[in-house]
């Protein structure tokens, strides 16, 4: 009975640790959008260069992701996540210095720190809670969405009303890093007590030739491209339509909070369904409708409704993409490998979004062409998501082809 209680306590502490790590995976990025105009004007950079403040973390994230399973194999997942949080905190501090070089160096460090944590969480959930992948994924994506939503809403009030300026407004999120490190520290002690549990490592068979792994990857990448493009430029889009920049920043918060129910419900629903094709189609419809509403911009009611629809679609998309990593993997090692692939190639695709949208606006001086581009990307990720929703594991299709070839030869 005593061992059972100890096991329960460990699981509760692990769940708390995962939640607090998740709290830190978006604010450092989503807090930039409402302040991007102030940063651009003070430092004297173009919209395209300003877009790098959202793009560089994704590039760093993408380049690091394939190596995360190997890092975790050497350090252990628990230590790797602690290192990730430390790097993330250092990046937030450096970016807040106000100087051009630390601004971009800190932005890269933010991507590296988020990358370590974000790649490892799906594999950790698969390993520690294999029968509750949907529920635990829902809990931590919901947690991620809460702080992702608060960050843009508080950015301008912290900078202007409290007189902190954009530097300290972006830097205040380092406080949450210290809290997360404190809550995560018990996992380091528990790891020393393990004797039989192996560290996460990549499976011997490569998943890079698996069609369904590529469909998961494309879905992850393109929905992320839309998400980061919207969270970066929505305040500027709304400001161009006549809204105050502070009010526009809070609309990013509305967008984020609109997706919170979907953050939790979609993973639980996906875990219970025989396949997830319908979920991908629904995500595409909501996202497409939201972007279209912003594009036509008849009035404030249509615009606000569109933001809510967009929030539901994108909130469902990120939680569903992370859930697919667990559902399409047979074990924790495979989940870590798929997570590294999906978040490497996927976020490399996503990294093009904010800077491309900013550059398109610089070129056409209108948000129409960038919006049409995002509509096309939404259609593509919906099709890919439907393919990724098939009820099979990432290596299952490869094994089936090998068996079929062997039987044909025989």
Q: What is the DSSP string of 214-227?
A: HHHHHHHHHHHHHH
Q: Exposed, middle or buried: residue 191 (CB in 10 Å: 0-12, 13-18, 19+)? A: middle
Of residues 398 and 351, the one with the higher pLDDT is 351
Confidence band for 384, pLDDT divided at 50, 70 and 90: very high
Res 73 pLDDT > 70: yes
pLDDT at 410: 45
Query: Buried b / exposed e across 28-48, counting CB within 10 Å, b at 16+?
Result: bbbbbbbbbbbbbeeeebebb
Res 326 pLDDT > 80: yes
- Mind listing the pLDDT tens digit for each residue in 20-63? 999 999 899 888 878 888 888 888 877 767 767 877 887 888 88
In whole angstroms, what is the distance from residue 219 CA to residue 327 CA?
Answer: 14
Please choose, from the candidates 365, 218, 361, the residue with its C-alpha nearest in 3D space to the C-alpha of residue 280: 218
Q: Side-chain half-sphere of 167: how many Cα atoms within 13 Å?
A: 12
The per-residue pLDDT of the chain, averaged, comes to 85
DSSP summary character for residue 158: I
Cβ neighbour number for residue 87 with a 10 Å cutoff: 23
Q: Which of 5-9, 92-96, 128-132, 173-177 has the lowest mean pLDDT?
A: 5-9
Of residues 232 and 215, the one with the higher pLDDT is 215
Distance set, CA 362 to CA 40, 46, 375 (Å):
13, 8, 19
In whole angstroms, what is the distance from residue 66 CA to residue 202 CA?
Answer: 10
Q: Classify 105 as helix, strand or coil.
A: helix
**pTM (2 d.p.):** 0.78
Res 323 pLDDT > 60: yes
Residues contacting 37, CB < 8 A, separation 6+: 235, 236, 239, 245
- Mind listing the pLDDT tens digit for each residue in 165-202? 889 999 999 999 999 999 999 988 876 555 444 444 44
Of residues 92 and 240, the one with the higher pLDDT is 92
Res 203 pLDDT > 70: no
Confidence band for 398, pLDDT divided at 50, 70 and 90: low
Contact, 376 vs 229, CB < 8 A?
no
């Amino acid at each position: 009975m005593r061992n059972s209680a100890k096991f329960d306590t460990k699981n509760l502490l692990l769940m708390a640790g995962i939640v607090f790590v998740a709290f830190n995976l978006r604010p450092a990025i989503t807090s930039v959008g409402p302040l991007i105009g102030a940063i651009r004007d003070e430092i004297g950079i173009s919209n395209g260069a300003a877009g790098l403040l959202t793009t560089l973390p994704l590039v760093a994230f993408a380049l690091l992701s394939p190596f995360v399973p190997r890092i975790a194999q050497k350090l252990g997942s628990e230590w790797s996540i602690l290192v990730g949080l430390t790097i993330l905190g250092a990046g937030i501090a450096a970016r807040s210095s106000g100087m051009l070089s630390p601004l971009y160096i800190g932005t890269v460090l933010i991507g590296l720190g988020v990358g370590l944590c974000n790649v490892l969480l799906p594999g950790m959930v698969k390993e520690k809670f294999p029968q509750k992948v949907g529920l635990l994924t829902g809990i931590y994506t919901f947690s991620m969405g809460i702080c992702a939503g608060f960050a843009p809403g508080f950015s301008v009030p912290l900078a202007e009303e409290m007189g902190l300026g954009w530097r300290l407004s972006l830097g205040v999120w380092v406080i949450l890093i210290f809290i997360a490190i404190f809550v995560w520290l018990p996992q380091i002690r528990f790891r020393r007590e393990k004797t039989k549990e192996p560290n996460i490592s990549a499976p011997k068979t490569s998943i890079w030739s698996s069609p369904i792994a590529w469909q998961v990857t494309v879905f992850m990448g393109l929905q992320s491209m839309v998400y980061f493009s919207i969270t970066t430029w929505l305040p500027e889009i709304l400001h161009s339509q006549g809204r105050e920049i502070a009010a526009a920043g809070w609309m990013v918060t509305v967008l984020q909070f609109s997706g919170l129910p979907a953050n939790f419900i979609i993973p639980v629903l996906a875990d219970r369904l025989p396949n997830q094709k319908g979920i991908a189609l629904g995500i595409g419809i909501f996202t497409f409708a939201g972007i279209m509403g912003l594009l036509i911009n008849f009035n404030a009611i249509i615009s606000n409704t569109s933001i809510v629809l967009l929030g539901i679609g994108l909130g469902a998309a990120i939680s569903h993409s992370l859930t697919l990593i667990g559902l399409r993997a047979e074990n924790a090692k495979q989940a870590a490998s798929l997570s590294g692939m999906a978040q490497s190639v996927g976020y490399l695709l996503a990294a093009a979004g904010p800077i491309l949208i900013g550059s398109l606006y610089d070129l056409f001086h209108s948000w129409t062409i960038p919006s049409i581009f995002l509509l096309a990307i939404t259609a593509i990720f919906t099709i890919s998501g439907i393919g990724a929703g098939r009820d099979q594991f990432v290596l299952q299709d490869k094994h089936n082809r090998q068996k079929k070839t062997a039987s044909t030869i025989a």
